[in-house]
Chains A and B, each alone.
Chain A
């Protein structure tokens, strides 16, 4: 029982990070119909930036994170700008274009930080908390708190601000949004910046949990994406639930199957998506003839 709860808590904490990644995917997808396969690589860049500013420049962890978010936001703007001609046109091509960006980002990371990874010490140095006989890493709680705060801020932005409402409108019908005077391009760019920012946040937070390396983006990105699809692609609550589900699945798979955790996670994901392609909160789409 104790092991079970501990695995669960670890899974939720990791899942919170997948949820952040998944929200970035979903936000960009619903706003502009773009599936950003470079998202995982942006997470990796975010992790490196945060760890660099934290370890080498010796900024406080929170400040290092903010700098990382700003820089990755800029990367987001660049990707959006370059791929803008394909928006709302050819889905598969755009997808492949973002894969191209991912390849470039990976190579850039190797150029700047080298091919070997680095370990990032936890910014919270206190001993694990003991809650009713269950040991919980303090950093796990920090991750959960930051992820929750980011989610609340994002939802408030989307629902309470004019800019957020405009983005919702673009998500529903970009042509109608143009017709009522919403600058669709700007709205898409903001979605991309926020998506990249969320990626950097996820990357910065995951640094002390995993090993930071140029190849970390692949698994993180695919698991975050899997979370987004599992929850229902394009849905923000879906991204949170799906991300946490993947995190918990991952954590239990690691407990039971050790090295084979990835194998188990992806096979379970493939089966789930085959059984229910729309995910938990996804809407059933109807083919119109």
Chain B
């Protein structure tokens, strides 16, 4: 498999080198333009497919790269290469500016905002004198390169293909290393990504910055190739053509984006005399793609393999969930100065509805705390406040004595809070190993400068993370499922993956939201063992649970919530017999039904 892939790659390189010898002048021109679109499509794929940011302004980034190059060379008399550097910097600056709406809005809102900004860009191009209006700018000088005359489109091809190879490799490198995993985690589930320490706002800006680098570079190459720029190249129609390339090729795979760009460019060339029919054709193919092959051409091999596998189920070595291997006991530890978690008078209102009302509790380090209460009593809301999803209306949250009230979820994650979710929030399009890898990475987003400067450092860091991930999967008995996608796994295994992922953060405080929901008796027993071992390793555990048997046997201390208030607090034995707890669970109407009970109580 590895060798064959290497062989294909070698073949492609050879083909790319000899290609110009086999084609005529017009064909090489078409190929040169195609490569530029392929670079654009990679940038678009990085924003849309990898990071989930609907960026319909990619064509404007492309235009900006071209126009800045054109203006600086033609009107200011700069050299082509100095102009191109400034063009790319300018594009990235604008890309960051365009990304600010993404911090607040997503999905279709972001689509319409970016599309609007793309329209604004063409509007500016056609009106300002600086860009020569609808006429555009002509007479861009030939980029100079010692020993090569780049006015020849054959030689220009080599420049382009080299740039393309570097950019595709870099894109793939990003996708497969920590930054790309975080971007994909953010695409799959921004909330869970935040809880795993991913700085979502920074990552969204990074996604736009990445796609603007590709857009700007494509623009520079275009200016050097055509040596003339005009507004219609950067129209909304071409934006949609670019979108079609990315969708048909497969937005979640950079190679897919390239295939889409090449394929659609060739079809368009083939139908060059019938552009309207070509437009109908690719529009229809986009519709068919979203309906029948949402992963595009890139996803087809996997789908075909899936059909083949279903026909002939694998009989050999079935994957099994292995037993959990306990953590080393941290032993008796000196009592910490501050409790692991202090919740001080927390209130939370949702438009008049009080979900939490002055809740105060304190969990000492190394305790297993149970939080129980009827449905709707505010347990999950409390978790959401502690882990930074909700800003409380009043009160304070302290982690290890540090006040972190209203901090964002990634800051809390970085401060040592990890959590699981009531309704499972694994990243569905990432493998189990990748889910754990996202959580393992404790570097801050600002350390991505290393991607630009020192890639081997990134690679070594990634290798170290992968070793750690394998150790964690091994410990949780999940090694057999490392390569599986979470939605394909049984529910009980998904629950365990979520705990493994939370523990990959090496938290100080672990919040488990109904970890036993949907588990069978044996799985609940294993869960009890896992939680105990986690506590013994020195982690404080707070769990919300409806399974009273588990709560009674596992927790040292139980807090009971009802109607957003704490109604009881004590050892499991104490709270189980507290009358207000019985009333909260069974309702006061029980008093009328069971008068005898009432007498006993009074």
Contact = CB atoms under 8 A, between A and B. Distances in A.
A195 interface: no
A99 B251 CA distance: 15
Interface stretch (A54-62, A107-115, A151-159): A107-115
B282 A259 contact: no
Contacts of B286: 96-97, 99-100, 103
B105 A274 contact: yes
Interface string B121-153: 101101100000000000000000000000000
Interface in A206-245: 215, 218-219, 222, 225-226, 229, 233
- Report the interface size class on chain A: 35 or more
A96 B243 contact: yes
A131 to B, nearest CB: 33
B101 A270 contact: yes
B104 A99 contact: no
A38 to B, nearest CB: 10
Contact of A218 (B52, B236, B287, B290): B236
B276 interface: yes
A260 B52 CA distance: 31
A149 to B, nearest CB: 28
Interface string B267-311: 000000000110110111111011100100000000000000000
B124 A263 contact: yes
Contacts of A286: 350
A284 B349 CA distance: 13
Interface string A229-271: 1000100000000000000000000000011111101110110
Nearest to B246: A96
B111 interface: yes
Nearest to B236: A218
Contacts of A106: 237, 279, 283
B407 interface: no
A97 B280 contact: no
B104 A95 contact: no
Specify which of B112, B123, B240, B243 lies most central, judged by the most chain A CB atoms within 10 Å of its CB: B112
Most buried by B among A86, A225, A275: A225
A116 interface: no
Contacts of B285: 100
Given A96-B286, A263-B120, A287-B191, A103 B279 contact: yes
Contacts of B282: 103
Interface residues of B, number: 55
B276 A110 contact: yes
Contact of A219 (B119, B284, B291, B351): B119
A191 to B, nearest CB: 17
A284 B290 CA distance: 30
Nearest to B384: A289
A270 B284 contact: no
B116 A270 contact: yes
A269 B294 contact: no
Interface centre among A35, A107, A229, A260 (most CB of B within 10 A): A107
B422 A289 contact: yes
A37 B284 CA distance: 15
A101 interface: yes
A97 B291 contact: yes
Nearest to B286: A100
Nearest to A103: B283
Most chain A beta carbons < 10 A, residue from B127, B287, B289, B291: B287
A107 B124 contact: no
Interface in B502-538: 513
Nearest to B114: A270
B344 to A, nearest CB: 22
Given A103-B240, A289-B191, A289-B384, A270 B291 contact: no
B431 interface: no
Interface string B84-120: 0000000000000000110111011101110111011
A202 B105 CA distance: 28
A91 interface: yes
Contact of B290 (A35, A94, A289): A94
Contact of B291 (A82, A259, A269, A284): A82
Interface in B70-92: none
Interface string B230-273: 00000011001001100100000000000000000000000000
A100 B117 contact: no
Nearest to B279: A107
Contacts of A226: 112, 116
B154 interface: no
B294 A90 contact: yes
B168 interface: no
B220 interface: no
Contact of B425 (A82, A94, A263, A289): A289
B222 interface: no
Contacts of B115: 222
Given A104-B284, A266-B119, A289-B389, A96 B109 contact: no
Contacts of B351: 284
Contact of B127 (A92, A108, A259): A259
Contacts of B280: 103-104, 107-108, 111
A99 B282 CA distance: 11
A257 to B, nearest CB: 9
B290 A86 contact: yes
Contacts of B127: 258-260, 263
Given A35-B108, A267-B117, A274-B101, A93 B294 contact: yes
B445 interface: no
B380 interface: yes
A262 B116 CA distance: 9
Contact of B113 (A93, A218, A270): A270
- Most chain A CB atoms below 10 A, which of B240, B277, B282: B240
A263 B111 CA distance: 17
A96 B279 contact: no
A185 interface: no
A223 to B, nearest CB: 8
A95 B104 CA distance: 19
A233 B280 CA distance: 30
Contacts of B54: 92, 95
Contact of A85 (B126, B236, B291, B421): B291
A258 B123 CA distance: 11
Interface in A70-108: 82-83, 85-86, 90-97, 99-104, 106-108
B291 to A, nearest CB: 6
B383 interface: yes
A91 B108 contact: yes
Contacts of B237: 106, 215
A277 interface: yes
A273 interface: yes
A273 B101 contact: yes
A222 B279 CA distance: 21
B119 A218 contact: yes
6 contacts: A97-B287, A100-B244, A107-B276, A260-B123, A261-B123, A289-B383
Q: Which 4 A-B pairs have the closest CB atoms?
A: A103-B283, A100-B286, A104-B283, A107-B279
Interface of A: 35, 37, 82-83, 85-86, 90-97, 99-104, 106-108, 110-111, 215, 218-219, 222, 225-226, 229, 233, 258-263, 265-267, 269-270, 273-275, 277, 284, 286-287, 289
Interface of B: 52, 54, 100-101, 103-105, 107-109, 111-113, 115-117, 119-121, 123-124, 126-127, 191, 236-237, 240, 243-244, 247, 276-277, 279-280, 282-287, 289-291, 294, 350-351, 380, 383-384, 387, 389, 421-422, 425, 513
Given A92-B54, A263-B127, A286-B350, 16 more contacts: A95-B111, A100-B283, A103-B279, A111-B280, A219-B119, A263-B120, A263-B121, A263-B123, A263-B124, A270-B101, A270-B116, A273-B101, A274-B103, A274-B105, A289-B387, A289-B425
